[in-house]
Chain A
């Protein structure tokens, strides 16, 4: 009952925050001499215009959800994983290499799970290196994870010029995968693939892991109070390796859903902002795995609508980035406003009782 009321409050406030974010962006549209009402009408109309576009929201949300989780997961242990982009690339490389290798040798339904497992294992190992450096040398995980992205990027570029390059040796990209290795399409006539369901399932699993298992308990204990955890015999070094391993698997899974679900090949320099956007989504959802599902869908909708709005009305697509920024700022602000109001209400009740 009480939980329901608080949940309703939260939804209401997020709605208000999103509206305010859109209103703030509308003022920018006015500067550009565009009619914001018409622009938003177009945005809304284009998002629900047809099945394909609507489904694309969820296609865009899929990798964002996973990189968002990759940041949120270590954040629960009070560790900052800025390397989701690199973990994503490692996942994409391994998914691609495995897909190209298995494509001609095994039937699809058999090889897809193998590709997936190999991908997340590689991403996990890549990520756990950051945790290991933190545990062993007390290095700063923020910097190490951030710089590891550049190593992963360079490795991807190198492989796309050498071992993985297409048969024509023309562009830095791979051959397309055999259709057996494409993630199944969920709705005909759209790009929506099974990776979306996979991402939602993973988000729910992450929630279970964090809040219902001893490991998740220890991760949160270290995150909230490292001193008390240390005196409780919890080895923060092991926790940092474990959380970065899991974060690595999450971001790498995004690589899998993008290559096997959308691109069906690996192209140089694709999705270069997926890691950074994941951080934003994690913050937007207050690092709650279930919240991340909805936050990434919201941002996915803004992206899809924005792109079409840009094409059709001459409004620069970068206005969408600003809109995303405004929405995030207002959602984060709203959580402060909410706790402030709650305090005020509690005080008022208290006062009426003391009189």
Chain B
């Protein structure tokens, strides 16, 4: 049989306002690792969801081993050997690893011991170190992902689809994932990576399929291409490089200082332990770390929505004490939150309304007792053109904007609010390259204006590209603050994974 394992022919999928996939065709052979590369909104997730039975295509067909198949639900997909690992894991935290893996895949009386043995064997085959009786909620993110993979293997998946699998991993964990993928493919299986990280693509994929605006714009073997050509295909034009390091302006002094800051969550668990650092005027400090290690708490403590258990925060010589969010906004603190749709915008409101969200108490938006709608619209229009936000106009509802344009809106707003300090939490997560470039330039521009910037990111290349100094955070503790030149990817990776920074770091691994 010459037919490839999977073939997609002429699939078209329409949503109400956009064409998500336009006559998409490609195939994947057994033993092949394919990267599906494209910006956000290029349609890569959509085509995979069609393949996995979550969406139904408007036209086109799917062939498995040369035979036409109808996939109406994930159950159909799994029966055909297709498994998908979503970006957000679908695991039950209070259940054990084994229980999660067999969920929905066993009938009648459960042979618990037999299942656990099978899982253990599977884990062993691929070199996963996982205890089947451990509770999932106690596992780190990297291990949870392995549970998801084991779940797919348990169902005899022949094709594994992974949606942005490395977003939540440390560099070391990512490397081990890549290792797994190679072994999995070597055993005659196929894998599809959905990603927009070019480096990963070049590292693991045999073939690269590039999508743009719902079309397949490239289908090339890895050997025949390079990162630059791929990025051009992805965005349809070449990106101008980041501006050269601007001449650092004279630093008048310290803008922000944290002194032994301790934050507890609702349950009294310490989330930030004795955090101390300071940022100078015109300086960008990066906070590197795997997400969930206290970054969110740090940002919220700074913007005033989380109160300190002890310690203090001083901005421009003024102790912020117990000032609330509203007062801190007035003092010039801007905040670009990580979860923009949940924390940054009101999706149901218009662009203009969202522009005044943070300054709704400001009398400049008022005319008598009413809102000065003309002024608000003019302000929004000005920002729309200054930040080239793609929207029909100030009266368009934010829900209809793409993620990148929503983020531009938030960035535009916070640049104005944050006259002294701007906190960026994962400012480019999930954005396409064009928007990422835009946000990066905006961040660099703030430094010239003498503001201080705190940049929280899990994307190391972003941290290295933008920051003057880099602090590594692990479980609420700053592992150390470094100049960019002092760090290598390996060293920072170990720090992010919680290994203490000693000259003999490699020993920690060989144990």
Q: Do A and B come from one complex?
A: yes
- Seen from chain A, the residues whose Cβ lies within 8 Å of a Cβ on chain B are 208, 212-214, 217-218, 220-221, 224-225, 227-235, 342-343, 346-347, 350-351, 354
Asked if A220 meets B360 with Cβ closer than 8 Å, knowing A214-B371, A228-B343, A347-B14, the reply is no
Asked if A217 meets B371 with Cβ closer than 8 Å, knowing A230-B305, A232-B360, A350-B17, the reply is yes
Among B45-53, B231-239, B323-331, the stretch in contact with A: B323-331
B8 close to chain A: CB less than 8 A: no
Residues of chain A contacted by B344 (CB below 8 angstroms): 228, 231
Among B162-170, B200-208, B361-369, the stretch in contact with A: B361-369
B378 close to chain A: CB less than 8 A: no
Asked if A221 meets B14 with Cβ closer than 8 Å, knowing A213-B369, A214-B371, A235-B326, the reply is no
B223 close to chain A: CB less than 8 A: no
Residues of chain B contacted by A221 (CB below 8 angstroms): 346, 349, 353, 357, 360
B456 to chain A, nearest CB (A): 15
Assess the A351–B14 pair: CB atoms within 8 A: yes
B387 to chain A, nearest CB (A): 19
Identify 21 residue pairs between A and B in the complex whose beta-carbon atoms are under 8 Å apart, listed by A's number.
A213-B369, A213-B371, A214-B361, A214-B365, A214-B366, A221-B353, A227-B343, A229-B346, A231-B300, A231-B303, A231-B305, A231-B325, A231-B335, A231-B337, A232-B325, A232-B329, A233-B326, A234-B360, A350-B14, A350-B19, A354-B22
Q: Among A213, A224, A235, A343, which residue has its beta carbon within 8 angstroms of that of B346? A: A224
B16 close to chain A: CB less than 8 A: yes
B158 close to chain A: CB less than 8 A: no
Assess the A228–B342 pair: CB atoms within 8 A: yes
Residues of chain B contacted by A233 (CB below 8 angstroms): 304, 324-329, 358, 360-361
Asked if A343 meets B16 with Cβ closer than 8 Å, knowing A212-B370, A213-B370, the reply is yes
**Which residues of B293-330 have CB atoms within 8 Å of chain A's CB atoms?**
300, 303-305, 324-329
Residues of chain B contacted by A343 (CB below 8 angstroms): 16
Assess the A232–B371 pair: CB atoms within 8 A: no
- Seen from chain B, the residues whose Cβ lies within 8 Å of a Cβ on chain A are 12, 14-19, 22, 58, 300, 303-305, 324-329, 335, 337, 342-349, 353, 356-358, 360-361, 365-366, 369-371, 373
CA–CA, A220 and B354, complex, Å: 12
Assess the B16–A228 pair: CB atoms within 8 A: no
Q: Which of A214, A221, A227, A229 has the most CB of B within 10 A?
A: A214
Residues of chain A contacted by B353 (CB below 8 angstroms): 217, 221
User: Binding site of A, secondary structure by majority: helix, strand, loop or mixed?
Assistant: helix
A255 to chain B, nearest CB (A): 27
Assess the B349–A224 pair: CB atoms within 8 A: yes
> Known contacts A221-B349, A221-B357, A233-B304; can you find 12 more A-B pairs with CB under 8 A?
A212-B370, A214-B361, A214-B366, A217-B353, A225-B348, A228-B344, A231-B337, A232-B325, A233-B328, A233-B358, A347-B14, A347-B16
Q: Which of B12, B303, B324, B344 has the most CB of A within 10 A?
A: B344
Residues of chain B contacted by A217 (CB below 8 angstroms): 353, 356, 360, 371
Closest to B366 in A: A214
Residues of chain B contacted by A225 (CB below 8 angstroms): 342, 345-348
Q: Which of B15, B22, B325, B347 has the most CB of A within 10 A?
A: B325
Residues of chain B contacted by A351 (CB below 8 angstroms): 14, 58
CA–CA, A220 and B369, complex, Å: 17
A345 to chain B, nearest CB (A): 9
Residues of chain A contacted by B17 (CB below 8 angstroms): 346, 350
CA–CA, A214 and B324, complex, Å: 19
B267 to chain A, nearest CB (A): 16
Residues of chain B contacted by A228 (CB below 8 angstroms): 342-346, 357
CA–CA, A83 and B346, complex, Å: 28
CA–CA, A208 and B22, complex, Å: 45
Residues of chain A contacted by B342 (CB below 8 angstroms): 225, 227-228
A36 to chain B, nearest CB (A): 39
Q: Which of B18, B303, B371 has the most CB of A within 10 A?
A: B371
Residues of chain B contacted by A229 (CB below 8 angstroms): 346, 357
Residues of chain B contacted by A218 (CB below 8 angstroms): 360
CA–CA, A74 and B100, complex, Å: 42
CA–CA, A234 and B305, complex, Å: 11
CA–CA, A212 and B345, complex, Å: 19
Closest to A216 in B: B371
CA–CA, A212 and B371, complex, Å: 6
6 shortest A-B CB distances, which residue pairs?
A233-B326, A233-B325, A343-B16, A225-B346, A346-B16, A224-B348
A351 to chain B, nearest CB (A): 6
CA–CA, A224 and B354, complex, Å: 12
Closest to B22 in A: A354
Residues of chain B contacted by A214 (CB below 8 angstroms): 360-361, 365-366, 371
Residues of chain A contacted by B361 (CB below 8 angstroms): 214, 233
B358 to chain A, nearest CB (A): 5
CA–CA, A232 and B346, complex, Å: 11
CA–CA, A156 and B16, complex, Å: 54
CA–CA, A25 and B370, complex, Å: 45
A299 to chain B, nearest CB (A): 27
CA–CA, A337 and B347, complex, Å: 23
Residues of chain B contacted by A213 (CB below 8 angstroms): 369-371
CA–CA, A217 and B369, complex, Å: 12
Residues of chain A contacted by B304 (CB below 8 angstroms): 233
Residues of chain A contacted by B22 (CB below 8 angstroms): 354
Closest to A348 in B: B14
Assess the A220–B14 pair: CB atoms within 8 A: no
CA–CA, A233 and B305, complex, Å: 8
B261 to chain A, nearest CB (A): 19
CA–CA, A227 and B347, complex, Å: 12
A347 to chain B, nearest CB (A): 5
CA–CA, A212 and B373, complex, Å: 8
A256 to chain B, nearest CB (A): 24
CA–CA, A231 and B324, complex, Å: 10
CA–CA, A233 and B414, complex, Å: 13
Residues of chain A contacted by B337 (CB below 8 angstroms): 231
A254 to chain B, nearest CB (A): 25
Closest to B368 in A: A213
CA–CA, A65 and B127, complex, Å: 68
CA–CA, A230 and B22, complex, Å: 41
Residues of chain B contacted by A224 (CB below 8 angstroms): 346-349
Residues of chain B contacted by A231 (CB below 8 angstroms): 300, 303, 305, 325, 335, 337, 343-344
CA–CA, A208 and B370, complex, Å: 9
CA–CA, A347 and B305, complex, Å: 43
Residues of chain B contacted by A232 (CB below 8 angstroms): 325, 329, 357-358, 360
Residues of chain A contacted by B369 (CB below 8 angstroms): 213
CA–CA, A231 and B360, complex, Å: 12
CA–CA, A350 and B345, complex, Å: 28
Residues of chain B contacted by A350 (CB below 8 angstroms): 14, 17-19
Closest to B335 in A: A231
A226 to chain B, nearest CB (A): 10
B4 to chain A, nearest CB (A): 27
Asked if A354 meets B19 with Cβ closer than 8 Å, knowing A227-B343, A228-B346, the reply is yes
Closest to B370 in A: A212
CA–CA, A208 and B369, complex, Å: 11
A355 to chain B, nearest CB (A): 10
